[in-house]
Amino acid sequence: MQRQQRAQAVTIISPVHRLWALWLRATWPLADRLAPVKRPLLRLSFIHFAHWSLIERVPAGVAGARRLAHPYVLFQSNFDDELSAYIDAFSLVVPGRMRAMWQGVFGFPGPRPVDRFLSFILARTTPAQYYYCAYPEASSTMVEAALRLSEEHRRFAAEAAGLEDDAFAARYAEFLTRNQLLL
């Protein structure tokens, strides 16, 4: 498979119950600061960035603007690769978080069975007509690995600067061993 553009844009916009919008407004500020909430989602889905918004009026930034008949939740992400590969994982492993994200969306069928959940998600996905990525050939895991590796390299280069050849070779071997999963 050719991988010129690893990141894929996923955009979902869907109407929600008003009470659900209230719930999201109330819980987002706290959830947004809790790493344990986010960790499994990051681990499972190789996200670069993902954002959730609520849209209740148009234009959104004008107080007193026209209210929409329903609030809308807007989900946007930059995943590596295809959504269907992740939905499987989300449904199997973090169904609770899927409920917490989508419960109040009209028509939400539940996180399982996964095929029905996938259909629900795909039906609400809008394609992006234009998508730019500054590092298209790199997946999010590659970016993370590269950032960590560059830190490790900096440390190693500093430590190794004054070493004799044999000592350097030994430390270099240790550097490789310690960081092989990042290469």
Partner 1 sequence: MTTLAGLQGNVLDGYRTPHALYMFVSVTEARVARRWLASRIGRVTTYGSFQAARPASTFNLAFGHDGLLALGVPPIRLAHLEAFRQGMAARADALGDVGPSAPARWELGAGDSHALLVLTAAERESLADAASELRDSLPEGGLTLSHEQHAYSAPEGREHFGFQDGFSQPAVPGASAPRIGEGTLTLWRRWRRLALGEFVLGHRDEGGRVPAAPLGPLGDDATFMVVRKLAQDVGAFRSYVAEAAERLHREPAWVAAKMLGRWQNGSSLARYPQAPGPPASQDPNASRFRYGEDPHGYACPLGAHVRRANPRDSLGYQGRLTQRHRIIRRGMSYGAPLPAGISVDDGVARGLMFVAYQGAIERQFEFIQGQWLGDGNPLRLGDDRDPILAAEGSNGQMIIQGRPPVFLAGIPRFVTTCGGGYYLLPGIAGLRALADGAC
Partner 2 sequence: MSRERDTPAALVVMAQLREGREQALLDELAALPSGEESPFRRVASTHFCRWLLIPALLGADGEAAEPGRAYLLLTADFDGPLADWVAAMTREMGPHLDRIFEHCDGYRGSGELGALTDFIAERRVSVGFSILSSRATVARVRSSLELRRALREFAIDSQGMTPDALRRAWSERFGA
Sole window of 39-47, 82-90, 91-99, 110-118 interacting with partner 2 (rule: CB under 8 A): 39-47
Give the C-alpha separation, 79 to 86, whole Å: 9
Chain-centre distance of CA 19, in angstroms?
26
Q: Cβ–Cβ contacts within 10 Å for residue 46, how many?
A: 19
Q: Which is nearer to partner 1, 18 or 136 (CB)?
A: 136
36 binds partner 2 (CB under 8 A): no
Sole window of 89-97, 112-120, 159-167 interacting with partner 2 (rule: CB under 8 A): 159-167
Burial state string for 170-180 with b = 16 or more CB within 10 A and e = fewer than 16: eeeeebeeebe
User: Please, which of residues 126-165 interact with partner 1 by CB under 8 A?
Assistant: 139, 141-142, 145
Strand partners, 72: 15, 55
Q: Which is nearer to partner 2, 84 or 150 (CB)?
A: 150
User: Please, which of residues 80-109 interact with partner 1 by CB under 8 A?
Assistant: 80-81, 85, 88-89, 91-93
DSSP state of 65: P
Counting residues that bind partner 2 (by CB under 8 A) gives 73
Question: Whose structure tokens read 């889905």?
Answer: 45
User: Please, which of residues 114-143 interact with partner 2 by CB under 8 A?
Assistant: 126-136, 138, 140, 142-143
